[in-house]
Structure 1
Amino acid sequence: MTANEDQEMELEALRSIYEGDECFKEISSVSFQFRIGDREDTKAFILDLTWPEMYPETAPLISLDSFFNNRISAGTKQLILSKLGEQVEANLGTAMMYTLFEWAKENQGALMENHKPVVTAVMSSGDAMSAASAGKKKEKKEQLTKSQKKRIINRTDNKGELPRGWNWADVIKLSRTGGKDDE
């Protein structure tokens, strides 16, 4: 069998095995993502695997560079890649994607044993000030009733602006009332 025939057979097998599995994602016919662990789990990570042209005779390209993995330290990523590299060497020449995914799932605890989530949030000076004032009591905005909101909406046009002259006195009524000298 040629490398392309092996790839086609393995692709069919992966599609049938992981059909409906939210952890498996086929990016292209030679590129895949597999999430190890639940989304909310801090020890979860995503494996990005890409087949080179001569796969399975050559090793697949394994990456942990997806945005989901930003919370994993560089040391932990290096450990995962080295352990997966050992599995790749042991299975070189055979279809190994399923084996790699399942091995990573089974050994997630050992791979993430020394994992401490990395915090990558950058705070601007405005965020720092708001975080410092978070302890202070916030003023509540005045809450309008439903009828008050309806009256405001009925008075405004489609842009949210009050119509021209909304607070003018009715000039016609004033002219009709007249004064005492009009008699």
Structure 2
Amino acid sequence: MTANEDQEMELEVLRSIYEGDERFKELSPVSFQYRIGENGDPKAFLIEITWPETYPQTAPVISMNAFFNNTISSAIKQSIVDKLIDEVEVNLGTSMTYTLFEYAKDHKESFMENQPVNIMTSVNNSISTGTPDTAPSSKKKEKKEQLTKTQKRKLADKTDHKGELPRGWNWVDVIK
């Protein structure tokens, strides 16, 4: 079998295995992404595998440079890629994309054990990261605007019993 025939067969197998799996994405007939972990999981990551012309006789290109992985430290990304490359060397000459994705799923916890869990919080349009067990002390509670009784009455007179303004309250009278 030629490399192209191997690639076509593996492509069909991948499409049938991952049909309906939203974590799998075929970027092109030789490039695939798979998200390890559920949506919203702080330790989830994305692996991208691209087949060179002579794949599976030569190793596929494994990348973790997707924007999805921007919260993961570069040392952990490199460590995951290194472990996947070790797995590639064992499977060289055979179709291995599925094997690599499954290997990453099985070893997700050990891959990400040193990754701190970051919580993204937005304070005054700036993004800061912190650990979940320590609350940032610089964060201040926002004060609600206090209304006087007359201001509240005027607001209540303009709105219905649900607090919504009536339809057309801001319409402009075009015909005069």
The CA distance in 1 between the partners of 2:112 and 2:139, in whole Å, is 36
Work out whether residues 72 and 118 of structure 1, in 8 Å CA contact, stay in contact via their aligned partners in 2.
no
The CA distance in 1 between the partners of 2:146 and 2:54, in whole Å, is 65
Residue 166 of structure 2 aligns to a residue whose secondary structure is helix
Residue 71 of structure 1 aligns to a residue whose secondary structure is coil
TM-fit CA distance, 1:127: 3.8
TM-fit CA distance, 1:36: 0.5
Structure 1 residue runs of 4+, over 2 Å off?
117-123, 131-134, 140-144, 146-151, 161-165
Deviations, residues 31-84 of structure 1 (Å, cap 9, x unaligned): 100010111111110101111111101111111111110111111101101000
> Match for residue 18 of structure 1?
18
Q: How does 1:91-170 map to 2 (within 5 A)?
A: 91-117=91-117, 127=125, 134-139=140-145, 142=155, 144-146=158-160, 149-150=165-166, 153=168, 156=171, 161-163=172-174
Report the structure, 1 or 2, having the larger strand content. Answer: 2
The CA distance in 1 between the partners of 2:25 and 2:94, in whole Å, is 21
The CA distance in 2 between the partners of 1:39 and 1:133, in whole Å, is 27
Q: What are structure 1's unaligned runs of at least 5 residues?
A: 166-183
Deviations, residues 146-165 of structure 1 (Å, cap 9, x unaligned): 488336x1672xxxx45477
Report the structure, 1 or 2, having the larger helix content. Answer: 1
**Greater Cα radius of gyration, structure 1 or 2:** 1
Taking structure 1 as the reference length, the TM-score comes to: 0.74
Work out whether residues 37 and 45 of structure 2, in 8 Å CA contact, stay in contact via their aligned partners in 1.
yes
Deviations, residues 6-36 of structure 1 (Å, cap 9, x unaligned): 0000000001111111111111100100010
Alignment RMSD: 2.9
